[in-house]
Structure 1
Amino acid sequence: MTPKKIAAFALGPIGGAFLGLITLPIVAWLFSPDDIGRLSMMQVTISFSILLFSLGLDQAYVREFHEVENKPALLKAVFLPGFILLSLALTVLLLLPWSISGILFGIDSSWLTGLLVAAIFLSFFSRFLSLILRMQEKGLAFSMSQVLPKLLFLMVIATYLLFSVEAVFKNLMIANWLSLLAVFLVYSWNTRRDWLPALTASIDRAKQKQMIRFGLPLIGSGIAFWGLTAMDKFFLRGFSSFEELGIYSVSISFASVALVFQAVFSTVWAPIVYKWAAEGIDPDKIKNVTDYSTLAVITIWSLAGMFSWLVSFILPEQYERVQYILLAAMAYPLLYTLSEATGVGIGVQRKTNFALLAAVVALVLNAIGNWYLVPKYGAAGAAVASAVAFLAFFIVRTEASARLWQSFERGRMYVLVVVMVVLSGVVNFLPMSSVAIFFIYLVVLVSAVFLFRKQFFESFEYILSFVKSRKSVDKQIKD
């Protein structure tokens, strides 16, 4: 994949993160922490539905894309099983005598339940349609499909402000639902030449069975991973309050700026590495990607620690603790991204049971951490428990890949990552000034640059040469 294509894929996460940073303070000032906590429960439910009912076949689509000639038939083969099961499951749930919205949101409303069900279907469709753009390396279309819905969400919230619409959870949920609808419509239009032929395509049953065997372990790892990312919210819901859940959700939202890096890397990395594997791979390529990814992760995390105090200037007073909690919350996107680079051998060797093992180990640690920390520390305890769990997730995936496929030097990487996770607990549990936090994270950043100085100077030279080339082009245009 060329730098130009990578830049096209990066536009979506970067634009989405920028719009999110604009939208988040507005939502925090307009809606109560309780309602933001309820919205978090909606998002957790949607993510669980996609992980469970995709049946791991979304990953099978990525794995087999370059080795299958009939792409529409491949899409149909991976989409249909999960769609049928999802439809049956939601039908049964709607027929049961309890209120889904009452359980999740503490509000008994058939209207909210209907919106939730529609949101689940829209997200499920969008998941598979997005894979088409991703695997065809249509970066610009993929990015626009991410940016436009966030822009719509911002416009709806701005409309609420302009017309003094009541700041209640129902209206917040409607705004989120409209953004999901926009995602689906944009993806549907951009991929119409791919999914329309899939409607009449014939499924290769033998190939479908092979993909199901590939995906089955991923169902378990998917559920375990969902539990890993969602358990903290349920512990806060059960052992704390919607207010703590809201504060935690805002912290997660700020930390999701790191998802820019995670989204770009994950989107680009999987197609590239499987293509390399099909062609015969040079081990040095994997080592280089791992080193550069480690430097990028520590740099992003350190900069967040140095400047987290700025968050307190844009949020209401009740969100003061967000500046500390987000440093632990960043473990999820950053360590998951790094594990995508270091754990690639699991997918290449098709040993997906080890992906399940990593998720289960992390899930158990997360449950233990939340059980002990949430009742005492609330949102901060949940964030630190999650950080420790993702450290375990990262280590298990890395070690499994190194033993199954390509071994590589891991000492420097482990030292820096462990230091960052320990710091995330220290800043949340021990009172520290913003100045002290700034200098602590500065020391870590300098240490990372020293340990990976070769990668740092190569990156610096590349950026410098890129800037010089752009200036040269601009000068030629002016002349």
Structure 2
Amino acid sequence: MDVSLKNRFLKSYFSFSVGIWFSAIISFLSVPITSWLIEPAEYGKATMFSTIYSMILLIVLIGTPNGFMRLYHSVEEKRKLLWSSLVVPVFLSVIFFGFVLLFKDTVNIFLAGQKNSKAHLILVFAVFFGVLQTFSQTVLRMQEKGFSYSALQIVSAASNVLFVILYALLISRNFYAVLYAQLFSNILALSLGIYLHRESWFPIKIDKSLVKEILAYSYPFLLSGVVWWLFGWTDRIVLRMYSTFEEIGLYSAAFKLVSVMSLFTSGFSTFWYPFAYEQYEKNPNNKELFSKTFDYISFLILILALLIMSAKNVIFLLFAKSYRSSAYIAPFLLLQPVAITMAIVVARGIDFAKKTYWYIISDGVAAAFNIIGNLLLIPLLGAKGAAVTTGLSSIIVFAIEKAASEKLYPVKYNSKRAYVSMLILIIIASINTFFERFYVGILSSLTGIVVVTLLYNDVFRKLMKSFFEFLNRLKSMNK
């Protein structure tokens, strides 16, 4: 990777990540505030609403944002591509609106526990504006306007928290505070996004042949998305069947540790997709970009996982005492962001070849493994069994997508080094899960850091060289 491309890569990552970091901080700080304002039962209703909203939005979008990204650099008229991608999701949103009005009593009872509720109306409007907001963000991603993307994320997160507080204090401390806040923050961020970049939206143009091409490419993402959504909830469902609410609470707390790594994953994936598509369209033979990116990202995410694993007990001192045993549930959950981040790099060959049915296969196999693993391990190990299965299932996703992608778009990835490092991570996660001793966890994790660094010694040396060059530039600027 040449110097100019590397600098652009780093700048793009930072510009897209800053919004995710600040949004995560705002969201994290809002949790204790919300707990003081809204009763657990009311917050439970809001959580159910968010769960259904995310599922409906996934279905209505039918994967079209992926089609938009894939074709972005091959279609000259961007507005035509945008509205050709949007027309079907908007139409499905209208159909969903009619369906909800027809069965509004049933929907309200499911969401709010009573017929006399406005939850159904908030849901349909949230889905409609959610579709537009998703494409607003996707447009900014493809235009590589990272700071605009980040600014709108921060606006959305901050307005969400502010609206929850105002509604709870001035109107009522119920679940509507969270529902209206989600709707309001989406509309605000969407309005600002469209206004600031209105040249990307208007005038409206639609191409029927383009609509068909987008749908043909996109629909497998719906199927894989539904499978992935189910995959994400299997562990809680089986825990509820075979374990206790306390175990579910501890398991959920363990995911707080994973969210730290998710900042890295989210920031990287946000800019990597458009960046990778653009580079492929410019020069499909530049495969060294993908192999080098894989090496660097693999090393960084593995080291980050091991560092967090070594500090897990200290981090959970911030939680209430009753939650501190979650530290021994979290290690295997850290495999998930590691495997998914690595898959984000290597799976792009599937997109380039437009063979997106491979995502259905990878997610389907992983989901089946996850269900069987949870049914076998949760009765024996409780939440630890769920964590083990979730972590290993993510590695299956990586393995299948990598194998498929390499056949469709051959790249010389250092696969052996990656799999050996993953095996080391599994061994250390096992030690940190089943040996509940503070010093054992730290020593094993630090040993893993040393071994992985030795495996990636060439990458480590280049990173250190770049770091010292950066420091020297800063020193020269201050003189």
Distance across 1 between alignment mates of 2:201 and 2:159: 30
Q: Which amino acid aligns with 1:217?
A: P
1:220 maps to what in 2? Answer: 223
CA displacement 1:344-397 (0-9 Å, x = unmatched): 111111111112211111111111122233455444333322212111111101
The alpha-carbon distance between structure 1 residues 380 and 110, as it changes in their structure 2 partners (threshold 3 A), is: farther
Answer yes or no: is 1:75 the counterpart of 2:82.
yes
The alpha-carbon distance between structure 1 residues 460 and 189, as it changes in their structure 2 partners (threshold 3 A), is: same
Range with greater deviation from structure 2 (256-265 or 320-329): 320-329
2:445 maps to what in 1? Answer: 441
2:472 maps to what in 1? Answer: 468
Distance across 2 between alignment mates of 1:216 and 1:59: 9
CA displacement 1:214-269 (0-9 Å, x = unmatched): 11222211211222223333434555566544443333243122122112211221
**Equivalences for 1:55-454 in 2 at 5 Å?**
55-96=62-103, 99-100=106-107, 102-103=109-110, 110-155=117-162, 170-171=174-175, 174-175=177-178, 177-179=180-182, 181-192=184-195, 198=201, 200-237=203-240, 240=243, 244-280=247-283, 281-407=285-411, 408-425=413-430, 427-428=432-433, 430-454=434-458
Distance across 2 between alignment mates of 1:434 and 1:160: 44
Distance across 1 between alignment mates of 2:363 and 2:229: 9
- 8 Å contact 1:125–1:184 — kept in the other structure? no
Distance across 2 between alignment mates of 1:447 and 1:210: 47
Q: Once the 2 structures are TM-superposed, how far is the Cα of residue 302 of structure 1 from its aligned partner?
A: 0.5
The alpha-carbon distance between structure 1 residues 178 and 254, as it changes in their structure 2 partners (threshold 3 A), is: farther
Q: Once the 2 structures are TM-superposed, how far is the Cα of residue 90 of structure 1 from its aligned partner?
A: 4.7
TM-score for the superposition, normalised by structure 2: 0.87
Q: Once the 2 structures are TM-superposed, how far is the Cα of residue 99 of structure 1 from its aligned partner?
A: 3.8
Q: Which amino acid aligns with 1:209?
A: K
Distance across 2 between alignment mates of 1:63 and 1:47: 23
Distance across 2 between alignment mates of 1:180 and 1:245: 29
- 8 Å contact 1:306–1:442 — kept in the other structure? yes
Distance across 2 between alignment mates of 1:120 and 1:236: 30
Range with greater deviation from structure 2 (389-398 or 150-159): 150-159
Q: Once the 2 structures are TM-superposed, how far is the Cα of residue 201 of structure 1 from its aligned partner?
A: 2.3
Range with greater deviation from structure 2 (173-182 or 122-131): 173-182
Distance across 2 between alignment mates of 1:204 and 1:322: 52
Distance across 2 between alignment mates of 1:371 and 1:313: 31
Q: Which amino acid aligns with 2:209?
A: A
| Unaligned 5+ runs, structure 2 | none
Structure 1 counterpart SS, 2:311:
helix
Range with greater deviation from structure 2 (269-278 or 224-233): 224-233
Range with greater deviation from structure 2 (104-113 or 15-24): 104-113
- 8 Å contact 1:34–1:243 — kept in the other structure? no
Distance across 2 between alignment mates of 1:142 and 1:214: 25
- 8 Å contact 2:227–2:367 — kept in the other structure? yes
The alpha-carbon distance between structure 1 residues 311 and 177, as it changes in their structure 2 partners (threshold 3 A), is: farther
Q: Once the 2 structures are TM-superposed, how far is the Cα of residue 333 of structure 1 from its aligned partner?
A: 2.8
- 8 Å contact 2:112–2:119 — kept in the other structure? no
CA displacement 1:185-208 (0-9 Å, x = unmatched): 223312336567746523111121
Structure 2 counterpart SS, 1:67:
coil
The alpha-carbon distance between structure 1 residues 277 and 114, as it changes in their structure 2 partners (threshold 3 A), is: same
Equivalent residue in structure 2 for 1:11, among 11, 18, 21: 18
Distance across 2 between alignment mates of 1:327 and 1:275: 36
The alpha-carbon distance between structure 1 residues 164 and 42, as it changes in their structure 2 partners (threshold 3 A), is: same
Equivalent residue in structure 2 for 1:48, among 29, 48, 55: 55
- 8 Å contact 2:72–2:78 — kept in the other structure? yes
Structure 2 counterpart SS, 1:110:
coil
- 8 Å contact 2:160–2:184 — kept in the other structure? no
Q: Which amino acid aligns with 1:255?
A: V
Q: Which amino acid aligns with 1:367?
A: I
The alpha-carbon distance between structure 1 residues 308 and 371, as it changes in their structure 2 partners (threshold 3 A), is: same
Report sequence identity in percent: 24
Q: Once the 2 structures are TM-superposed, how far is the Cα of residue 101 of structure 1 from its aligned partner?
A: 5.7
CA RMSD of aligned residues (A): 3.1
- 8 Å contact 1:153–1:176 — kept in the other structure? no
